[in-house]
């Protein structure tokens, strides 16, 4: 009630006293990003430069509408340094005209400095930090990018509830990738699924021969198969009269495929096989004509997109005909396209998708991402200011209640000050497409 009354008075004063410089007719937003001004390495500056470019473009668009509230920004260089970041947050916190801070962008900059936000009662809005529970455990801190925990859980939930999958094998990089793998595993088990095997690899330790051999061993030890190239006429006739999950039944015979009974008949496969009096065949060789079914998918978390080419080629060569589920770092369209001959069916979560990239031609994928992380973060704050949220408490309350906010690169749905929304992407037949938005709840 008090907040509503304050806003009404503010709007009334703007209407009847246009010539007076009101304290809330001008506000400031702090920006804390790694500009790396002291570095001689141009590549180190790119992240901050592109993000600041997006921030400035959002502000210029805001100004074009001749808003009642003038907004200025003050950008400070965090230098990817915790001490520098804390100093910046304290300076912004001591300036009463600063109503919110956009940044820091790295979890490492913020993880030990999050207390500054609640100390100053100042919203600190990170567009990209992904460490688990940072915002949830620290009032006034907001994560616009979903955490590792959310990402793993979203992928597991999508695979199980939307695709009907139940049994999985995990292949994960053993440090960064574990952040995704553990939450994926927890969500699968929470929903009565199973992780039938987990293999880890050390970053840059290719090839992964031992890991893929272990994965194949697990697949074949759990599964049972029918060899369509080695059936009697009587067995073939029985199968043709049964209810299969394959629409193109004849292709199984012409291709002489070796197919899992679970792929053919689903979870009741053992009962069906008993009734048909057909006994599964042993798998005597590794062949691309083998189609598993007991294991539904292979979930692969990578350390970064540079791992994708090597992993995909090894996956293809191994003859493992399973759908792939991936972590967010699979979201690199060029790399996927370059490796399309190795990828039959891939699904992964993404914090970033642009329907139209035409206006940013000439920029790398990472530059485009950084630009829009900056642009969308600043535009969100400016949209809240346009709604007459003009104090730190106003901004904080508005963001805590934020639901179904559509940014250029993602949708934002806040719960415990953390965005819960991701996009499910599909790569099939050499084409990347967005399937849908998806949340943990």
Regarding whether 38 and 126 lie in a shared domain, the answer is: yes
Question: In which band, very low, low, confident or very high, does the pLDDT at 22 lie, cut at 50, 70 and 90?
Answer: very low
Regarding whether 240 and 313 lie in a shared domain, the answer is: no
pLDDT of 247 over the 80 cut: no
The reported pLDDT for the residue numbered 362 is 75
Regarding whether 153 and 130 lie in a shared domain, the answer is: no
pLDDT of 432 over the 60 cut: yes
Regarding whether 133 and 245 lie in a shared domain, the answer is: no
The reported pLDDT for the residue numbered 16 is 44
| Residue 414 falls inside a structural domain | no
pLDDT tens-digit map of 120-162: 999 999 999 999 999 999 999 999 999 999 999 999 999 999 9
Regarding whether 329 and 196 lie in a shared domain, the answer is: yes
Of 326, 350, 374, the last residue of a domain is: 350
What is the distance between the alpha carbons of residues 377 and 352, in angstroms, rounded to a whole number? 13
Regarding whether 117 and 196 lie in a shared domain, the answer is: no
pLDDT tens-digit map of 38-83: 999 999 999 999 999 999 999 999 999 889 999 999 999 999 999 9
CATH number at residue 16: 3.40.50.2300
Regarding whether 140 and 71 lie in a shared domain, the answer is: yes
The reported pLDDT for the residue numbered 21 is 40
Number of helices followed by number of strands (H, E) in the chain:
16, 19
pLDDT of 381 over the 70 cut: yes
Nearest to 350 by CA among 158, 203, 217: 158
pLDDT of 357 over the 70 cut: no
Look at 2-16, 251-265, 337-351 and tell me which has the smallest mean pLDDT: 2-16
Question: In which band, very low, low, confident or very high, does the pLDDT at 7 lie, cut at 50, 70 and 90?
Answer: low
Nearest to 48 by CA among 367, 350, 379, 380: 367
Of 274, 291, 308, the last residue of a domain is: 291
Regarding whether 303 and 180 lie in a shared domain, the answer is: yes
Nearest to 77 by CA among 69, 68, 88, 90: 88
The per-residue pLDDT of the chain, averaged, comes to 90
pLDDT of 441 over the 80 cut: no
Q: What is the pTM of this model?
A: 0.88
| Residue 44 falls inside a structural domain | yes
| Residue 419 falls inside a structural domain | no
Mean pLDDT on 390-400: 97
Regarding whether 236 and 217 lie in a shared domain, the answer is: no
What is the distance between the alpha carbons of residues 248 and 412, in angstroms, rounded to a whole number? 42
| Residue 433 falls inside a structural domain | no
The reported pLDDT for the residue numbered 286 is 60
What is the distance between the alpha carbons of residues 377 and 58, in angstroms, rounded to a whole number? 9
Regarding whether 205 and 343 lie in a shared domain, the answer is: yes
Mean pLDDT on 230-239: 86
Question: In which band, very low, low, confident or very high, does the pLDDT at 230 lie, cut at 50, 70 and 90?
Answer: confident
Regarding whether 70 and 118 lie in a shared domain, the answer is: yes
| Residue 427 falls inside a structural domain | no
What is the distance between the alpha carbons of residues 130 and 142, in angstroms, rounded to a whole number? 11
Q: Which domain holds residue 26?
A: 2-146+355-409
Question: 124 - beta bridge partners?
Answer: 101, 141
pLDDT tens-digit map of 268-282: 899 989 888 888 877
Of 291, 325, 340, the last residue of a domain is: 291
The reported pLDDT for the residue numbered 268 is 87
Regarding whether 305 and 278 lie in a shared domain, the answer is: no
Report the percentage of the chain scoring pLDDT > 90: 71
pLDDT of 8 over the 60 cut: no
Torsion angle in degrees (nearest 10) through CA of 285, 288, 289, 294: 80
| Residue 331 falls inside a structural domain | yes
Question: In which band, very low, low, confident or very high, does the pLDDT at 257 lie, cut at 50, 70 and 90?
Answer: confident
**In this predicted model, which residue has the larger pLDDT, 239 or 349?**
349
| Residue 261 falls inside a structural domain | yes
pLDDT tens-digit map of 188-220: 999 999 999 999 999 889 999 999 999 999 998
What is the domain count for the chain? 3
Enclosing H/E stretch for 108: helix 107-110
| Residue 425 falls inside a structural domain | no
């Amino acid at each position: 009630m008090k907040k509503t009354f304050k806003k009404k008075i503010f709007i009334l004063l703007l209407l009847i006293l246009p010539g007076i410089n009101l304290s809330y007719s001008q506000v400031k937003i702090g920006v804390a990003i790694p500009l790396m001004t002291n570095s001689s390495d141009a590549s180190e500056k790119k992240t901050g430069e592109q993000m600041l470019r997006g921030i400035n473009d959002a502000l210029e668009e805001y100004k074009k509408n001749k808003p009642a509230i003038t907004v200025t920004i003050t950008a400070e260089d965090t230098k990817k340094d915790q001490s520098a970041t804390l100093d910046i947050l304290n300076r912004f916190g001591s300036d009463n005209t600063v109503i919110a801070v956009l940044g820091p962008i790295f979890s490492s900059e913020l993880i030990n400095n999050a207390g500054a936000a609640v100390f100053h009662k100042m919203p600190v809005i990170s567009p990209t930090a992904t460490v688990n529970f940072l915002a949830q455990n620290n009032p006034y801190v907001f994560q616009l990018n979903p955490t590792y925990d959310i990402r793993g859980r979203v992928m597991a939930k999508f695979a199980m509830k939307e695709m009907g999958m139940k049994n999985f094998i995990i292949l994960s990089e053993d440090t960064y990738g574990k952040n995704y793998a553990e939450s994926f595993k927890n969500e699968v088990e929470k929903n009565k699924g199973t992780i039938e095997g987990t293999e880890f690899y050390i970053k840059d330790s290719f090839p992964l021969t031992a890991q893929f051999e272990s994965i194949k061993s697990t697949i074949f030890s759990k599964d049972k198969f029918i060899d369509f190239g080695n059936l009697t006429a009587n067995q073939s006739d029985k199968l043709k009269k049964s209810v299969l999950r394959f629409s193109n039944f004849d292709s199984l015979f012409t291709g002489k495929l070796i197919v899992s009974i679970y792929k053919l008949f689903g979870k009741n496969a053992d009962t069906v096989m008993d009734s048909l009096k057909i006994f599964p065949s042993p798998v005597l060789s590794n062949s691309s004509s083998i189609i598993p079914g007991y294991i539904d998918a292979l979930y692969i978390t990578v350390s970064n997109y540079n791992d994708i080419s090597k992993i995909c080629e090894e996956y293809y060569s191994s003859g493992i005909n399973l759908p792939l589920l991936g972590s967010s770092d699979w979201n690199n369209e060029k790399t996927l396209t370059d490796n399309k001959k190795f990828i039959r069916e891939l699904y992964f979560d993404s914090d970033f998708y642009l329907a139209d990239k035409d206006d940013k031609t000439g920029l790398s994928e990472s530059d485009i991402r950084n630009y829009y992380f900056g642009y969308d973060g600043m535009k969100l704050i400016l949209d809240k200011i346009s709604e007459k949220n003009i104090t730190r408490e106003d901004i904080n309350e508005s963001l805590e209640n934020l639901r179904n906010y559509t940014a250029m690169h993602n949708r934002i749905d806040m719960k415990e000050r953390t965005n819960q929304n991701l996009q499910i992407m599909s790569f099939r037949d050499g084409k990347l497409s967005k399937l849908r938005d998806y949340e943990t709840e």
